[in-house]
Amino acid sequence: MNREELIHDWNIADGKPRLPEGEIRFDDESLRDGLQSPSVRDPGIDTKIRILHLMESLGIHAADVGLPAAGPRAFADTLALVEETVRAGLRLRPSAAARTLVKDIEPIVEISQKAGCPVEVDMFVGSSPIRFYAETWRIENILPLVEEAVSFAVRHDLPVMFVTEDTCRATPDTIRALYETAIGAGARRITVADTVGHATPAGVRTLLAYVKQVVQGTGEAVQIDWHGHNDRGLAVINSVTAALSGADQIHGTALGIGERCGNAAMDQILVNLRLMGLIDNDLTHLEEYCRTVAVAVGLEIPVNYPVVGRDAFRTATGVHAAAVVKAARRGDEWLMDMVYSGVPAAMVGRDQEIEIGPMSGVANVGFWLTHHGYEPDPAVIDHVFQAAKKAASVLDTAEVERLIRDAGGRRSPD
C-alpha cells in the first residue's frame, strides 16, 4: 500500500488542504520578547549569537534582537547581533523593539548606522479600551505620537513594523485609526498582537479579515503579522489559524518562552505547518535550537513537551513497542516512524526509542538488545523481562546492561 492509504487524514477537508495565498514567513522573538519572562536569565552575547545562527538554520526570516533603549547592555547586545547578521551574511532580517517614541527609536538608528545594515523598527503601542483607561490615554493624543515616530524612522531609512498591543481586545475604530495613521506615515508592516492570549481561532479569523480590509483601504502594499501569547493555551493553534487566514508573518519564541504563560512556541508552529505541507523548512536542528535556548535561559524542557521533550518519541508500553518492532521488521523506516507517532521523528533529526519497564512486553526487550548491539538470546530476554515486571519505573541503560551480564548475554558479532 502507498503511504496515503495507510493514514486517512481527517484534517484535510474535501481532500484538499486549505492553503494560504502566499509564503508563510516567521519572526523569532526569543531574544527579546521571550526574555521578558520573570523566570529566565538573559544569556551572554556569545550564546545569543549561537541562537541567532540556529534560527537561520531553521529558515526563520526575521529576528527581534533587542530593545536597545532599555539600557547600555541591551544596546550593546542588539548592536552585536545586528553586526553578526552582516558579518556572517545571514539571510534573516534583524529588527529591534521600541515604544512608539522618537527617543526609543534613536538608538536603533545609531545601531543601523554603526552596523551598516537596515534594522527594522518594531514599535508598539497599546490599543485596547482597558489599556487606554488604565493609562488615561486618548486616541487623539496617541495618533500624533504614532505619526511622529513612524515618520522619524522612515526619514532615517529604517523599515517600520507597527505593532498594536492587545489588538484582540481593541475596538474596530481604534484599530483603523492607528493602522491608517501608521501606514500613512510610512509603515509597511503591521502586527496584530494578542498580547494577553485572549483570542480564540474564531477571533483570529474575524480580526484578520477586518485588518485586511483596513489595509486594502489604504491602497498601500502592507504586510500583516500575527503575534500571539499563550494565556489560554491557544497560542499555537491561533498562530496556525493566522497563517491559514492570510497573515504574512507569524511570530514566536523557542519553547514559547515569554512573560506570564509565554508566547506562541515557534518550534511547535514550524512542526505543525511542515506537517500540513504549508512549509518545507529543514527542521533537523529544531531540538538543538530548543535545547540551546533552554540552557541559555535556565529552563528545563518538560519530558512530555511536543517533539523535543525527552519522551516525545520514547515508549515503554508493550503494545506500542510491538507495533513499532513489527514495522521495523518490514524494513520500512517511515512505517516504523509513524505507526505510533503523529510526528515523524526523522523530520526533526530524532529516532523512535523503545525502553524497558513494568508495562513492557518481550518485544521491547528483544528490540532493545538488538538495537544496542546484543544477541537477542531467549534466556536473556526472559531474565530482563522478569526483572522489568518487578520494577517501579523504566530501567536505565546501566541497569539493563547489568541484567544482561547476569544472564550471560553477549555482544552481537560485528
Residue that finishes a domain, picked among 297, 323, 356: 297
Within 10 angstroms of residue 155's Cβ, the number of other Cβ atoms is 10
Query: Helix (H, G, I), strand (E, B), or coil: what is residue 404?
Result: helix
Q: HSE (CB half, 13 Å, CA atoms) of 259?
A: 6
Instruction: Name the more confident of 409 and 166.
Output: 166
CA 57, CA 80: separation in Å to the nearest integer?
19
Considering the domain architecture, whether residues 106 and 192 belong to the same structural domain is answered as yes
Q: Residue 353 falls within a domain, yes or no?
A: yes
Q: Are 58 and 283 in contact (CB under 8 A)?
A: yes
Cell (9 digits) for 318: 508493550
d(CA 272, CA 360): 30
3-class DSSP state of 170:
coil
Q: For the chain, first and last CA: distance in Å?
A: 34
Residue 12 located in a structural domain: no
Residues 289 and 319 in one domain: no
**Which phi and psi (to 5°) does residue 14 adopt?**
55, 25
Q: Is residue 115 part of a domain?
A: yes
Same domain membership, residue 223 and residue 103: yes
* Domain shared by 80 and 120, yes or no: yes
d(CA 244, CA 242): 5
Same-domain status, 356 and 384: yes
Domain identity same for 383 and 283: no
Asked if residues 388 and 366 have their Cβ atoms less than 8 Å apart, the reply is no
Residues 199 and 276 both lie in one domain? yes
Say how far apart CA 232 and CA 257 lie, in whole Å. 15
Tell me the average pLDDT of the chain: 94
**Considering the domain boundaries, does residue 17 fall inside one?**
no
| Domain final residue, candidates 250, 267, 297 | 297
- How confident is the model over 82-128, as pLDDT tens digits? 999 999 999 999 999 999 999 999 999 999 999 999 999 999 999 99
Domain assignment of residue 18, yes or no: no
Same structural domain for residues 259 and 381?
no
Name the H helices within 186-282: 201-218, 235-244, 266-275
| Contact assessment for residue 297 and residue 33, using Cβ atoms and an 8 Å cutoff | no
| Nearest-angstrom CA–CA distance, 77 and 134 | 33
Out of 241, 264, 297, a domain closes at 297
Residues 266 and 332 reside in one and the same domain: no
Is pTM beyond 0.75? Reply is yes
Classify residue 22 by its DSSP letter: S
pLDDT at residue 352 is higher than 90: no
CATH of the domain at 225: 3.20.20.70
On whether both 358 and 282 belong to a single domain, the answer is no
List C-alpha distances in Å: 152 to 100, 110, 248, 367: 10, 13, 25, 65
As beta bridge partners, residue 191 has: 163, 225
- Decide if pLDDT at 14 tops 70: no
| Residue 414 pLDDT exceeds 70 | no
Task: Find the Cα–Cα–Cα–Cα dihedral 305, 309, 312, 316, rounded to 10°.
Answer: -110
Residue 83 lies in a domain: yes
Task: Reply yes or no on whether the pLDDT at 377 is more than 60.
Answer: yes
pLDDT digits (tens, 9 = 90+) for 311-335: 999 888 878 888 888 888 888 888 8
**Same domain (yes/no): 251, 120:** yes
The Cα 177–Cα 204 span in angstroms is 20
Rounded Cα–Cα distance for residues 400 and 357 (Å): 10
Quote the CA–CA distance of 59 and 402 in Å, as a whole number: 44
How high is the pLDDT of residue 41?
A: 97
As for how many domains the chain has, the answer is: 2
pLDDT surpassing 70 at residue 17: no
Residue 269 sits in the same domain as residue 120? yes
State which residues form the domain around 354.
314-406
Q: Residue 56 domain-assigned?
A: yes
Give the pLDDT confidence of 113-172 residue by residue, as tens digits: 999 999 999 999 999 999 999 999 999 999 999 999 999 999 999 999 999 999 999 999
Asked if the structure places residue 3 within a domain, the reply is: no
Residue 315 has a pLDDT of 86
